[in-house]
Structure 1
Amino acid sequence: MNSFIFNTTAQIVFRPGAAGDLGPLASGKVGGSVLLVTDPGLRKLALCDPALASLKSSGVTVTVFDEVEPDPSFATVMSAVELGRLSAITGVIGFGGGSSLDVAKLVALLCGSGEDIENAWGVGNAKGPRLPLVLVPTTAGTGSEVTPVSIVTIGGDEKRGVSSSILLPDIAVLDADLTLGLPPHITAATGIDAMVHAIEAFASKNANNNPLSKMLARSALQLLGANIERAVEVGRDRAARGAMLLGSMLAGQAFANSPVAAVHALAYPIGGRFHVPHGLSNALVLPHVLRFNASVAAATYASIAADAFPHLASVSDEEERCAAFIEHLADLSARLGLQRRLREVGIQQDDVASLARDAMKQARLLVNNPRDMTEMDALEIYRAAW
């Protein structure tokens, strides 16, 4: 068995209504003055209010930064850092989707250490220390509450990341009640995102791919595959929502240690340049990347096919089961009402060449892909997706 390292969030709280008890859960860790990082939509919906009230009743002074946008910019990160420094914060709470959680991670790092972010980009370069950090996801997709990665947008369209175990939070609070009001299209896109995390983690050729990540990826696919359609169709189903939130977290733990690959590498330019939500960007290229990989990874994909779609266990031939798995994933996106073609999200055929060039910049992800990918390969995949 290969040697490996497995890191994850120190404490995980999974309970409906837990966000309303954030004060008792987190105050001992974050100290007396915190910055709560969220987005304007959640603030307007008052989704943060029970958490804010709980923190204040526990004697915590809360400063709210609610300017996080989708695909957050580096400028947004630095605005939050400046507010945190002015407020002399002792801890950070991220409350929201993956964008808010990613911003919160970098705020905790930069306010806690003062290090130069230019030296932190990439894998294992952040030195820390960071401030105490608590993350509260409001979508079931990114798994950011258990991953050591923060992705932000640089210069308008380039995705850049910091990946370091320092960014893993002290506490993750999973409250399914926070996801009950998610619109169907967001539920669908974030759910597919979580499934991509599990699939890519399981198949990753990263040297740190390990039995724990594989086990977690399979468990995630079982939960996500069984509940995603119900969560989209009946959004107030707390059991389905909880299963999706747990599945997303398990997938996050898997890919945090066995990193994702070409699906994400090709999705990032779509999101960065055309502002397509990350989960949908993944869904648009997923079947096409898997078909490309199938020549070397058919047995791998076949081994997890029945986790997501149990009836595929009856398909005995590995190549046939792999092909069926890929087609079922494509059909699932369609059943969930997601766009299936790049042209449907405003991307022109003339854009695919530049997308392929940009995808090649994601070398930290492409090295994990089961099959080596060239720029020409990426171009053909984008063409197939168009």
Structure 2
Amino acid sequence: MSFMFRSVPRIVCEAGGIAKTGILMKELGASRVTIVCDPGIVKLGFAQKAQDALEAAGIAVQVFSEVEADPPQEIVEAAIAGVRDWKADGVIGLGGGSSLDSAKLVALLANSDQTIEEIYGVDKATGDRLPLIQIPTTAGTGSEVTWVSVITDNDHLKQVVYTPQLMPDIALLDAELTYGLPQKVTAATGLDAMVHAIEGYTSRTRKNPIADGMAVTALSLLGKNLMKVIENPGDKEARSAMLQGSLIAGMAFANASVAAIHGLAYPLGARFHIPHGHANALVMAQVIRFNLPAAKKLYAELAPCLIEGVDFDSEDAAAEAFVKRIEEMVPASGLETRLRDLGITEDSLPEMAEEVFTKIHRLIDSNPRDMTVKEIETIYREVY
């Protein structure tokens, strides 16, 4: 087996760790730092906490707080221009996946003559990025440990940048930043992280034993703690476990791949602005059920991550129990489970299926079971 495994150089996991942001950034040699976040992070006071820590270390701070969900290209370009004009020499991504994905591109392109369009795809970036620290405030995307950024281009299509320069210098996990998350955000991001672990483990492309081990560890942490944090948002131990599970799942899928769940979720975000984690949750159970004939052995291996203390008498029984557990968890999360309830029109289903099959086929290629455009549409209709 031949494979390459990339990892973030340093991970700091500490409740209240945002207070160390200035010390960590100073170690990276930065003296003028831009914080990339969304307006909600400012309202919660998290941006101010990071700013205070940076200024206490003698670092000048600029805050760009205009990030939107499924970040539009024009917003990312505005952030890049702001960082260049201010002559920042370091970047902090603070928030959910949209802020972290945006921060990676800002750190790279603010130090480059390339445009965003020129680096869409795989390994098209040149040069080095600015020093970068990623601080997630949700336990979901794992973006703090990947070299991938997903944004929405000017034609409202999802575009992906894969390049090693996007890997941050430091991922900082501070569970205190997740304590006050709304229930639906907790549920959506937690299920998103579970999808990362499951798709990384069952991927047909770049699957490898290191990523497999991480996927199993991540899914165990996530599966045992997601309902705990939904039912008891103040469970600090479970919150920390979710944040760690999300990071480990991010390392797993970044070194393997995601697949059809993400593929079917992308148009829901780009066209209808469904938050990414919720979009994954909408199609998660149906895609996993569809994949069962091809992924039975792998699902059976993952069953103990979600179902403790059960000795299954066959591979079939373990795999079926795994799928049923997923089918139970999605509605139990409290999220809407029907496309029609989220403003998605029935006449858009064939168009989205065609878009997935023709423009996001790389994710279908990673799926454990082949899919036709008709089968993709059928799954959309099952959740409509």
Query: Please, what TM-score do these two structures have when normalized by structure 2?
Result: 0.97
Which residue of structure 1 aligns with residue 319 of structure 2? 322
Counterpart of 1:266 in structure 2 is 264
2:298 alignment partner, one of 290, 293, 300: 300
**Partner AA of 1:201 in structure 2:** G
SS class of match (2:133): strand
Q: CA deviation at 1:344?
A: 2.1
User: Map of 1:195-234 to 2, 5 A cutoff?
Assistant: 195-206=194-205, 208-234=206-232
Aligned to 2:90: 91
May I ask how many residue pairs the two structures share in their alignment? 383
Cα distance in 1 for residues equivalent to 2:366 and 2:128: 28
The CA deviation at 1:34 is: 1.1
Spell out, residue by residue over 1:227-283, the C-alpha distance to the aligned partner (whole angstroms, 9 max, x if none): 111111211211111000000000000001001011000000011111111111101
1:12 alignment counterpart = 11
Equivalent runs, 1:122-271 vs 2, <5 Å: 122-155=121-154, 157-206=156-205, 208-271=206-269
Identify the residue that residue 71 of structure 2 maps to in structure 1: 72
State the secondary structure of the residue aligned to 1:276. coil
Q: Distance in 2 between matches of 1:68 and 1:259?
A: 26
Instruction: Note closer, same or farther for the CA distance 1:371–1:128 as it changes in structure 2 (3 Å cut).
Output: farther
Per the TM alignment, residue 186 of structure 1 is displaced from its structure 2 partner at its CA by: 0.4
Q: Unpaired runs of 5+ in structure 1? A: none
2-structure distance, mates of 1:260, 1:66: 29
- Amino acid aligned to 1:108: A
Which residue does 1:349 correspond to in 2? 346
CA distance in 2, matches of 1:28, 1:363: 42
CA apart distance, 1:115: 1.5
1:49 to partner: Cα distance: 1.6
Q: Look up the match of 2:52.
A: 53
2-structure distance, mates of 1:13, 1:178 = 14
The within-5 A match list for 1:110-125 is: 110-125=109-124
Q: Deviations over 1:165-219 (max 9, x none)?
A: 210100000000000010111000000000000000000011x211110000000
Contact 2:285 2:330 in 1 (8 A): no
Q: For 1:335-346, what aligned pairs fall within 5 Å after superposition?
A: 335-346=332-343
Please name the residue that 2:32 is paired with.
33
TM-score, length-scaled by structure 1 = 0.97
CA distance in 2, matches of 1:385, 1:302: 25
Q: 1:198 to 1:86 in 2, by over 3 A?
A: same
Distance 1:65 1:364 in 2: 33
SS in 1 for 2:366: coil
Cα deviation for residue 376 of structure 1 reads: 1.4
Check 1:301–1:21 CA distance in 2 against 1; reply closer, same or farther (3 A cut). Answer: same
Distance 1:318 1:364 in 2: 29
For residue 347 of structure 2, give the secondary structure of its aligned residue in structure 1: helix
CA distance in 1, matches of 2:314, 2:347: 39
User: 1:131 aligns to what SS in structure 2?
Assistant: coil
The aligned amino acid for 2:128 is: P
Check whether the contact 1:132–1:170 (CA below 8 A) recurs between aligned residues.
yes
The SS at the match of 2:28 is: helix
- Of 286, 289, 303, the residue aligned with 1:288 is 286
State the AA in 1 paired with 2:165. I
Equivalent residues of 1:92, 1:131 under 8 A apart? yes
Report the equivalent of 2:275.
277
- 2:35/2:62 contact within 8 Å kept: yes
What SS is found at the alignment partner of 1:169?
Answer: coil
Per the alignment, residue 383 of structure 1 pairs with 381
Give the letter aligned to residue 171 of structure 1. Answer: I
Q: What is the CA distance between 1:314 and its match in structure 2?
A: 2.5
Q: Distance in 2 between matches of 1:236 and 1:22?
A: 24
Partner of 2:366: 368
RMSD: 1.2
Tell me the alpha carbon deviations over residues 42-74 of structure 1, each in whole angstroms, 9 at most, x when there is no partner: 101212222111100111111100000111100
Q: Which moved more, 1:230-239 or 1:186-195?
A: 230-239
* Cα distance per residue 1:6-62 (max 9 Å; x no partner): 001110000000001211122221511111100101101212222111100111111
8 A contact 1:26–1:171 mirrored in 2: no
Give 1:316 shift.
2.2
Which position in structure 2 is the counterpart of 1:309?
307
